[in-house]
Chains A and B, each alone.
Chain A
Amino acid sequence: MKKYILILSLLILASCSQVGDLQDDPNRATQVSPDLLLTNIETSAFNNVSLNAALASRQLTYTDGTDSYQYYNWQRAGFDNYDILKQVQKMIQESKRTETEVYQILAKFFNAYFTVELTRVFGDVPFTEAVQAEDGLYMPVYDSQESIYKSVLDSLKTASLELAQNDEAIRGDIIYNGDKTKWRKLINSYSLRVLMSLSKKTNNSNLEVVTRFNEIVNNPTQYPIFESNTDNAALVYVDIQDNRYPLFNSNSLQTAYYMEQSFVERLQNLEDPRLFAFADKKPNASAAAVTDFTAYGGLYGSAPLSDNGAKAVSGEASRIKPRYYNDPINEPSLLMGYPELQFTLAEAAARGWITTATDSYYKTGIAASMNFYGITDTADYLANPKVQLQNPADIATILAQKHIALFLNTGWQIFYDQRRTGFPEFNVDGGGILNNGLIPKRFMYPQNETVNNPENLNDAITRQFPEGDNINGVMWLIN
């Protein structure tokens, strides 16, 4: 009997396992090569198609409820970009570990880009102490916008110069496939965008906005910039799951969104053929020719929802062109495009920052934008008297064209350009407008900062907005 008991006992004990043998995760890697992070960062940075931005920028309207972007009573935005800044930091760490430089240089650009994406939304944000949780810093202080912009401009310049010197290969690059010249063009073109966003700060001796602008424009060998649409910082969509145009198959885009009336009217007034690339004919004119400008209509951004809804169901409003929801590839998403650069240069010329003729930049920008939408015959349009600049300092007309060129593209860029310049005018005179008829100047800080970083947040709010955190507060950048 005893030997059976022994066998039974051994059988039970034989099945036992040791703790130490099972302490490695077979599902995740603890070290990776930096290019794997670069790909992820690029998909975040370049994938920026935003319907909310199109609503706030009076390009589209929404009819399934009173939308806070369209009626200007939005409240808070989030700090999600800090998570991407952490991915950039991880890319730097892995780049150092693998003893490669080039990803650290690109990291300078991405750090600058995502920091600007944050600060222009809120005002002061954490910067010098940001993304240091791994060193135990959980409540970073908020830096002044001025110091952030200074640092951003400096590191963009460094990135451009270092990249010119670097001879390593960039792998995992889904934007430029490792073409460093194109990267330098992007970095410098982007620097010009940042400098133009500081157009109210030309007197600031710390920043030397105009000098820096000229430094780039006047030295194309050292600081190359975009030369055509082929240089565009573009994410090209492909017909593969998770790689498709983000609005592909969107139900609400085809039922609840309509073109904005003032935008449609501007295109009609200019006899701009890009209207046919943006909009579908209104249902009541479905039999008309595509090129019949009168076949298009829109809903007025600030009109009451009931008026817009009634107009939509009566068939008098155009939807967006079906390609935006039917075509999985549609058009690339732009971090920054050649047309935008040309309008930035045109504005610099109009402001007298540079001496080149405004008109040539302006016309090149329009033609490049039309080319982007597949319109090759641009001569008639460029000759149209309504398209011409009123004078070399006609910033309003330049911005109106920029607004068209950035239709549902390049993220929130056109909204911030309008905030800075006031052009083109966004209607707030309709009966449905909220926020007392004001266009918000910013977003409130994220609610979780009030819990997780209250003291630093409080300092930042009191020094910038004595009346409290609110959407109409005017930050340093646009003051």
Chain B
Amino acid sequence: MKKILPLLIVLLSFAGFAQQQVSGTVKDPNGVPLGGVTVMVPDTSRGTVTDFDGKFSIEVTSGEVLQFSYIGFTKQNVTITNQTNLEILLSENAESLNTVVVTALGIKKEVKALGYAVQEVEGTTLEKAKEPNFINQLSGRVAGLNIKNSTDLFQNPTIQLRGATPLLVIDGIPDRTLDIWKVNSDDIETISVLKGATASALYGSVGRNGAIMITTKRGKEGKLSVSVNNSTLFQTDFIRVPDVQTTYGNGNRGVYAYKNGSGSGTEGGGWIWGPRLDQADPTTASGFFETTQYNSPIDPASGELLSIPYISRGKDNIKNFFETGLVQSNNVSVSWGNDKADVRMSISNNYQKGIVPNTDLKNTSFNIAGTIRPSDNLTINGTLTYNKQFTSNFPEVGYGPTNYLYNLILWTGTDVDVRDLKNYWRPGQEGIQQQHFNISYYNNPYFQAYEYLRGYNKTNVYGNASFNYDITEGLSLKGRTGINEYSLYRDYKEPKSYIGYGSKSRGNFSIAQTEYFDITSDMGLHYEKKLSDNFGLTAEVAYVNYYRNSKNTSQSTDGLNVPGFYNLANNAGATLFGSNREEKETINSFYGFVDLEFYNAFYLSLTGRNDKVSTLPDGNNSFFYPSASASIVLSSLFDLPDWVSFAKLRGSWSRVSEGKIGDDPYNYILAYEKGTTWNGTPSTYFGSNLLSPNLKPETSDTWEVGANFRIFQNRLGVDLAYYQARDYNNLIYSPISDASGYNSILLNGNQFKRKGIEITLDATPIKTENFKWTAQVNLSHYRRYQEEIYGDREHTEGYIRVGDRTDKIYYSVYQTNADGQVIFENGLPVSDPYDRFLGYDEPDLTYGISNTLNFKNLSLSFLLDGRLGGLMYSTTNQKMWWGGTSKGTVNQFREDAVNGENTYVGEGVVVTGGSVSYDVNGTITEDTRTYAPNDVAVNYISFMQTTSNYQNKNYHFYKESFIKLREVTLTYQFKDSFLKRTPFNALDVSLVGRNLWLASKISNVDPDSGVDNLQAPATRNIGFNINAKF
């Protein structure tokens, strides 16, 4: 009763006024409904937020004013007289467009106040065209952020921000494990990329290379809202797959006859330099050349294998083996909130079925985020995510017999049809011996898919709790604790007769477990005051503690007794093999910052931080570093022409130090390593790196200038950034003479300069009532130079000299004469004992171009991105020339070699006299050699087996340049008039495609990943998305 009484009084008291219900819709100038607009009666606690259709409803007393406000739009006040239905049109506010971004530690700042580069990606961008992880979706979307996507299932892309790996931050808590699979893109509100060290200086040493900050979605004030998002993409075919020749089959020197699968003798040693396929031979029953093959019938009389036609049955092995992959994502979320509390819950399930049979990845998350505001001056937030990544098998990557393409086409002639390999046990030897045409070097792909199993089971729990307490006006106390915890269990099932690199398995079972925990806690005081109209001050001091503990254990058998029974108890060896490892580390820090604002035009921000780390020796493990940044809003200071909407200049400087040497927190300690145990006798050895006694943290000083202009009523915007970073006191393993007993000494040395430029262009070329075209272009360019070499050396071990770019590639090549002609001896090119310069690794330009076209309820967006310049080594192409599967090997020389004739004369010269001397660096000091053209004909097959055609293929370094049609999305948004007759508040359907088209200089592989160690084929993904809100 006590509770009901006040409620009654309140209700009665309301009844006393002329309250009226006002409802309406809020739209933008294009007539698009605006959700999330704050609708309130100023100076009261009454207020609401528009729903997804821009609709609102509120009780108002006649004569009161309703205020509509929304970020990026001019506030609008409407005095209520007797209206009951309002149609509000908000106009865009030029100056405050995209006004607030999330910066370090989750602090929201106005864009105009920033002295450094930050670029945001809205969560909605990631909603439709899904990838297995959200990072892949950022390709081409942020200038300076270079994502090199892997084509393999469940493999991390390479993430580089201004040439280095950035920090991942989830809701203000750094995730040092950089697990990009644990965040579901449907839970992402925004991604804010802090590009420079200044932007992320407050994170301390881990923020040295910038940060990718994820803000997850939270409950919104308003009625209960349920959102469902389904996305399904099929990996229907390939945009890039190795294109192999089908003219010649397995064997060597044009000979092939299967005996027992050992690969030796007439089986041709595993080469694809065998006889011509589909060769007419009138003397055989089939009319084709015939030889014994692995699937030959056995002559019952003699017990010998019978010859069968040698024809290209396996032309479609790729199509026949790989299956249609699937990338599916489902998310259901519920959001609710009022002025005291809000909550959001979300369940996501991502399923990826690999193109390799029997491979997949399941990724499920449950996320809850809530806020309570028990009083006006206290806010408490909490977020918790449970995430499970699970697969019982996903493919092994890298070159070798563990790779599917290796077994399927790189080292299998098309005389073998993969469909004939589905029964993968040798009859009578089930569980013991796989069936294949070669059982010494290669694995039957089906055997590999169904018997060689690599499981992965990771459970992530992460989240944070924080509070903010306003002590007095402007001064608040804040605290936050965040944890990352995971447990990972992996198992490896290796069947008997499985072929590894260099060995045949006796069956094995291994398990590996990791338990990981880290916690970051911070506590501080925040002061924020607008001291006058023209002067504002924000300041903060805080203490932060970080602690990590991780434990790894692994165990494996030494052969298996019972085939196919995967348990450690089934060990065939004398003992199990195991190891364990534990790591602990901590950082204690203080930081503070002061932000000053003058006349709404000058902004200055100063930060400082001191870290004390456990990963450096005592005495050198506490260090301080500052930063400063400033910006000037020209458009607020001067009367600029009308067509200038906004103009700003910015600049910043920062110093950030890092006190950790590699991944191991104990790298600053010299100690013994465990050696091989010989028949039960253990051993130890001492590592090959020595330590300098006086290790200091390594430091980067970065300065950056930038400009941001918006013109023609915001129709065109440009953001420019130029930065330079000087990395010094680098903790390097400086090489020393091996004869000193150590290969290197860990010390502070070398100096590098990094510099780069980033350009982002935003444009709205067309904007009418029904049609709008917006475009964004992101461009970046980055270089790193050697500024100093430790110990005054002439050059580094990689031949980099002071002033050189550090991405110079030196490689083992053939000797050439002064005219660049390759020198031959006895028909073969002569190796140069000194590595020589081949080119540069880094691209000249990384670009992304996105466009969105809106026509009424239809919208089409597409993204093109890629890189220009740079070289990459291609293992796939090299092995294709070496092994005989490259299409380029089908020529008359090969036909001659098959017939035993030596007709190939390599292009180059032979030495006819004279001599050459080199100095210690390989520079020629004297050269009296005379030459004649090479005229020694050699066997083409021998030549390729020896040289891989290195000479004519730039040693298999290829230009990395490419352009990719990364994403196309066509969305239809159902009209309100239709939705009224349905339970939906909003509904849209999309056709989506990812990785649709690729053009590149390099053939057979997708250069996107930047490396090729025999990658999986690059798939084209096509599907649909349905997004509904109730």
Q: Which residue numbers of A lie inside 8 Å of B, CB to CB?
A: 1, 4-5, 8-9, 11-13, 15-30, 32, 36-40, 42-43, 63-66, 68, 73, 75-76, 78-80, 82-83, 85-87, 89-90, 125-126, 130-134, 137-140, 172, 174, 238-243, 248-252, 254-256, 283, 304-306, 309-310, 312-315, 317, 319, 431-436, 444, 446-454, 456-458, 461, 467-469
Contacts and interface: CB of A to CB of B under 8 A. Distances in A.
Nearest to A84: B685
A432 B178 CA distance: 54
B65 interface: no
Contacts of A40: 675-676, 683-685
B833 A75 contact: yes
Most buried by A among B614, B737, B915: B737
Contact of B672 (A5, A16, A30, A313): A30
Interface in B539-594: 543, 545, 547, 558, 573-575, 577, 581-588
Nearest to B268: A313
A434 B253 contact: no
Contacts of B267: 255
Nearest to B547: A17
Interface residues of B, number: 115
Given A446-B738, A467-B915, A138 B745 contact: yes
A273 to B, nearest CB: 24
B685 A436 contact: no
Nearest to A5: B469
A427 to B, nearest CB: 15
B253 A306 contact: yes
A469 B264 CA distance: 39
A4 B263 CA distance: 76
A321 B268 CA distance: 19
Contact of A63 (B269, B582, B665): B269
A254 B263 contact: yes
Contact of A251 (B503, B584, B690, B736): B503
A134 to B, nearest CB: 7
8 contacts: A5-B469, A19-B613, A36-B682, A240-B558, A306-B938, A448-B735, A449-B739, A458-B919
A327 B890 CA distance: 41
A309 to B, nearest CB: 5
Contacts of A317: 265
Interface in B676-715: 676-679, 681-686, 688, 690
Given A248-B503, A319-B265, 17 more contacts: A9-B523, A17-B545, A20-B614, A22-B665, A24-B669, A27-B581, A36-B682, A37-B686, A243-B679, A251-B499, A251-B502, A305-B942, A306-B939, A313-B253, A315-B266, A434-B825, A449-B737
B504 interface: yes
Given A8-B479, A19-B613, A39-B675, A137 B828 contact: no
Interface in B832-891: 833-835
Contacts of A304: 902, 938-939, 942
A358 B264 CA distance: 43
A30 B783 CA distance: 41
Contacts of A242: 676-677
A452 B735 CA distance: 7
A250 B265 CA distance: 16
Contacts of B574: 240
B458 to A, nearest CB: 23
Contacts of B585: 22
Nearest to A455: B920
A452 to B, nearest CB: 5
Interface stretch (B123-131, B311-319, B790-798): B790-798
Given A29-B684, A131-B741, A9 B479 contact: yes
B826 A433 contact: yes
Contact of A16 (B521, B683, B745): B521
Contact of B618 (A15, A16, A23, A249): A23
B523 A12 contact: yes
Given A5-B477, A450-B922, A126 B265 contact: no
B265 A467 contact: no
A5 B672 CA distance: 49
Contacts of A16: 521, 545, 547, 588
B252 A313 contact: yes
A238 B679 contact: yes
A317 B267 CA distance: 13
A368 B443 CA distance: 43
A28 B668 CA distance: 12
A126 B739 contact: yes
A433 B479 CA distance: 76
Contacts of B833: 75-76, 444, 447, 469
A458 B920 contact: yes
B942 A449 contact: no
A83 B738 contact: yes
Contact of B612 (A19, A87, A444): A19
- With most chain A CB atoms within 10 A of its CB, the pick from B521, B665, B685 is B685
A468 B916 CA distance: 9
Interface string B52-81: 000000000000000000000000000000
Contact of B251 (A240, A283, A313): A313
Contacts of B900: 310
Contacts of A137: 740
A270 B253 CA distance: 34
Contacts of B741: 82-83, 85-86, 89, 130-134
A24 B575 CA distance: 30
B809 to A, nearest CB: 16
B480 interface: yes
Nearest to B519: A15
B826 A434 contact: yes
Nearest to B915: A467
A22 B586 contact: yes
B614 A22 contact: yes
B676 A255 contact: no
Contacts of A1: 375, 377-378
Interface in B626-673: 665-666, 669-673
A32 B617 CA distance: 22
Contacts of B918: 468-469
A36 B253 contact: no
B973 interface: no
Contacts of A90: 672, 686
Contact of B269 (A23, A86, A256): A256
A243 B375 CA distance: 70
Contact of A283 (B259, B479, B614, B897): B259
B621 interface: yes
A20 B519 CA distance: 18
B558 to A, nearest CB: 4
B952 interface: no
A239 to B, nearest CB: 8
B831 interface: yes
B726 to A, nearest CB: 24
A29 B585 CA distance: 18
A28 B682 contact: no
Contacts of A436: 825
B835 A13 contact: no
B610 interface: no
Contacts of A86: 686, 741-742
A23 B614 contact: yes
A469 B834 CA distance: 12
B522 interface: yes
B255 interface: yes
Contact of A452 (B259, B271, B690, B736): B736
Nearest to B916: A468
A291 to B, nearest CB: 21
A78 B684 contact: no
A64 B879 CA distance: 13
B677 A19 contact: no
B921 interface: yes
A444 B738 CA distance: 15
A255 B250 CA distance: 14
Nearest to A86: B741
